[in-house]
């Protein structure tokens, strides 16, 4: 059995990790930490786990994390970077971080996007970016895996295939990502922006320029295409609890003639046999394109596209994920499975709800 500890287990991604791990046949949950809810039963914060997990929250400062084989850090950015370096020095332990603290390879990007100097830049080159579909072999050997931001995951997964195959024909300086995202992405601590009367019924742009996840998307698309890439992302808060739909606009040069079938082939070849990538494009019916509703609670990323062939040529790419699953805890469990040599889909194969 793998002994797992979850730091920040009272939050939304921590709760989602618990939902997945209680069903994992190879994992024993050793510690769940919360500083605010020490001594409280887990089901007081995560009522969906009542009867499934009879544990209380402990303080991170009082538990011996070295007893774990792996810890998941589900805390705000700026937290895990302060204790993970000592932890991996002192213990033979693997870390799966759900925050932004180890995602960016270039330490200067932390100054630029997070207004802080990374205290352990040497660990950034060691940490592996946790999109299994892009970094599977490195994840298997990793000591630290940095799970992607949820918006970054939705855009990167859906764009990587065409950036690999069509990089010479794409306007790499003008990639536009327009995302719609549910309220759970803001975490469990209430704020004015997430207060129900302010959040319900809205379609509200936020951080329309310079969003932090832009740095991750550029990093990954640059790696896959081998060329500098500039991404312009604008997220919108919409009236759902879970889910992201990212609509990306990729402009092609005037010379290239490319058909639907050729684009399909690019996606199929890139994601051949991937268990959590589904292609959604039908000629008729309601379900012609990806829709977050169909992936809620699941680890699937649903991808679709359309081509604008008149005037300026454009590929419109759609990507739907659950921000708390493929965008966070599901990706983390997929990475755990890879890091410990377990069948990659363990504890992750279930369909969503319908209707």
The residues of the shown chain that bind ligand NAP, judged by CB under 6 A, are: 8, 10-14, 34-37, 74-77, 79, 98-99, 149-150, 184-185, 187-189, 323-324, 327-328
Q: Assess whether 66 carries a catalytic annotation.
A: no
Please state, in angstroms and as integers, the Cα–Cα distance from residue 256 to each residue in 164, 310, 314, following that order.
16, 12, 11
CB of 174 to ligand NAP, least distance (A): 27
Q: Which residues pair with 315 in a beta bridge?
A: 250, 307
Q: Which residues pair with 3 in a beta bridge?
A: 28
Buried b (16+ CB within 10 A) or exposed e, 116-151: eebebeebbeebbbbbbbbbeeebbebebbbbbbbb
CB of 216 to ligand NAP, least distance (A): 11
Q: Round to whole Å and give the CA distance between 272 and 24.
A: 26
Closer Cβ to ligand NAP, 59 or 106, answer by number: 59
Q: Which residues pair with 303 in a beta bridge?
A: 279, 319
Closer Cβ to ligand NAP, 75 or 214, answer by number: 75
Closer Cβ to ligand NAP, 139 or 185, answer by number: 185
CB of 114 to ligand NAP, least distance (A): 11
CB of 111 to ligand NAP, least distance (A): 18
Please state, in angstroms and as integers, the Cα–Cα distance from residue 66 to each residue in 77, 110, 119, following that order.
22, 28, 22
Extract the runs of DSSP E, i.e. beta strands, from the chain: 2-7, 27-33, 70-73, 94-97, 128-129, 144-146, 170-181, 203-205, 231-238, 244-252, 277-279, 301-308, 314-321
Q: Round to whole Å and give the CA distance between 8 and 5.
A: 10
How many CA atoms, within 13 angstroms, populate the side-chain half-sphere of residue 132? 27
Contact (CB, 8 A) for 316 and 249: yes
Q: Which residues pair with 179 in a beta bridge?
A: 235, 246
Contact (CB, 8 A) for 183 and 322: no
CB of 324 to ligand NAP, least distance (A): 5
Q: Round to whole Å and give the CA distance between 339 and 88.
A: 15
Question: Residue with CB nearest ligand NAP?
Answer: 11
DSSP assignment of 133-186 equals HHHHHHHHH-SEEEPPPHHHHHHHHHHHHHHHHSGGGEEEEEEEEEEEE-GGGG
Closer Cβ to ligand NAP, 152 or 166, answer by number: 152
CB of 229 to ligand NAP, least distance (A): 22
Closer Cβ to ligand NAP, 34 or 225, answer by number: 34
Task: With H, G, I as helix, E, B as strand and everything else as coil, classify residue 77.
Answer: coil
CB of 71 to ligand NAP, least distance (A): 13
Let me know if 90 is exposed, middle or buried by CB neighbors in 10 A (0-12, 13-18, 19+): exposed
Active site residues: 150
């Amino acid at each position: 059995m793998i002994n797992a500890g979850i730091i920040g287990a009272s939050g939304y991604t921590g709760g989602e990790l618990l939902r997945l791990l209680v069903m994992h046949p190879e994992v024993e949950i050793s510690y769940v930490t919360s500083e605010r809810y020490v001594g409280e039963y887990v089901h007081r914060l995560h009522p969906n786990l009542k009867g499934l997990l009879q544990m209380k929250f402990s303080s991170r400062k009082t538990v011996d994390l070295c007893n774990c084989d792996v810890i998941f850090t589900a805390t705000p950015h700026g937290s895990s970077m302060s204790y993970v370096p000592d932890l991996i020095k002192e213990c033979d332990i693997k870390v799966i971080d759900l925050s932004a603290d180890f995602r960016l390879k270039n330490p200067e990007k932390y100054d630029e996007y997070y207004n802080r100097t990374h205290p352990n830049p040497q660990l950034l080159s060691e940490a592996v970016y946790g999109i299994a579909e892009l970094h599977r072999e490195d994840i298997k050997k990793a000591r630290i895996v940095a799970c992607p931001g949820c918006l970054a995951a939705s855009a990167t997964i859906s764009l990587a295939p065409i950036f690999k195959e069509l990089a010479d024909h794409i306007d790499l300086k003008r990639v536009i990502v327009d995302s719609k995202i549910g309220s759970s992405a803001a975490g469990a601590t209430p704020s004015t922006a997430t207060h129900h009367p302010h959040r319900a019924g809205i379609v509200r742009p936020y951080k329309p320029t310079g969003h932090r996840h832009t740095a991750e998307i550029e990093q990954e698309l640059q790696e896959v295409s081998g060329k500098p890439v500039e991404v312009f992302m604008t997220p919108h808060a919409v009236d759902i609890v879970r889910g992201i739909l990212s609509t990306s606009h990729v402009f092609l040069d005037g010379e290239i003639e490319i058909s639907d079938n050729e684009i399909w082939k690019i996606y199929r070849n890139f994601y051949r046999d991937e268990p959590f990538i589904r292609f959604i494009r039908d000629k008729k019916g309601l379900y012609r394109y990806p829709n977050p509703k169909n992936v809620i609670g699941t680890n699937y990323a649903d991808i679709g596209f359309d081509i604008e062939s008149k005037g300026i040529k454009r590929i419109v790419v759609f990507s739907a994920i659950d921000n708390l699953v493929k965008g966070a805890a599901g990706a983390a469990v997929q990475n755990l499975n890879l890091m410990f040599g377990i069948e990659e889909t363990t504890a992750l194969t279930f369909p969503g709800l319908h209707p």
